[in-house]
Amino acid sequence: MDIKETHWSPLLLDWFAAHGRDLPWRDASPRDPYKVWVSEIMLQQTKVETVRPYYDSWMEHFPTLRDLAAASQDDVLRQWQGLGYYSRARNLHQAVQEVEAKYGGHVPENRKDVQSLKGVGDYTAGAILSLAYGKKEAAVDGNVLRIFARLYDIEENILSTAMKKEITALVQEQLPDKAPGSFNEALMDLGAMVCIPKHPRCEACPLSSLCLAHELGKEGELPVRIKKQKHPVEAITVLAVSQGTKWLVHRRPPQGLLASMWEFPSVQGKGKDGLDAACRLLEGLGLQVSDIEGPVGEVKSVFSHKTWQMTVYTAAAAGEILQEKEAWQWLERADYTRLPWAGPHGKITAMV
């Protein structure tokens, strides 16, 4: 049987009916487009088991799109804390506010409008439209690219724009008229549980008899992906400064990495150079520090484009903040939980 001439979606859907994962965002039919949207944004670059408790907590705080649109950014970021890639939360918040204002709270039902929303790309748009509205739209992510590279013995780089378009066209050909959302979810589950990277479980695959890579013994070689470029490691000195029972915290700028989130005073550099730079930062605010201790701990934080290697010190302060008061404040330890912390700085709260 030639896979290129076979409509094999029934095989996949039968497998999905028997083996599909029980996930909290698959709790209703028809599906709520808001819940589909939230789950797909959370699942970007994050494992399902990590997302489960965050999704449940999120829905307790923001059970409807309208609830999220009305929430403050700080509350949104606080609920997202720990998932990383905080721009996803800010984009989601901004996008639901647009849906509320422009579409009366109804998530658009066509690709052009839904994909115009902040943070919604090809994959998320396809997921929302197929899962919530039953539209015959492909949702192609890394799992799907891997599955199709093996099924069709594709040896080109699956991350190239041309190959993504070609695979999307192949997915579109297989999409059934009925239950296209189930087909897309079946592909997600097949990629997560069976057609996994490196060592696929071909013996459990409903499509193994059609798979060209399996027939040729190439399933371990495919897909072909460009190698990730190594990203730089930045040394960061964190000087956590106390005054009495309070600690000095800083709100990051509204744009850029970890935008609008809170951190302890931090500068680039390490050792004496890093501490000198941190002291100069504080002097610019009118603070003198003494009793520098440490390192009291180290934190490594990996972002998509860089890694922070952070060394944490503590110090006592005298004087008042004279400049940039709106971006700095003194905070009691008991109030740590009320702030959305900038990624790794949430871990530092346990050190100081």
What residues act catalytically? 40
What phi-psi label fits residue 22: left (phi over 0), alpha (psi between -120 and 50 degrees) or beta?
Answer: beta
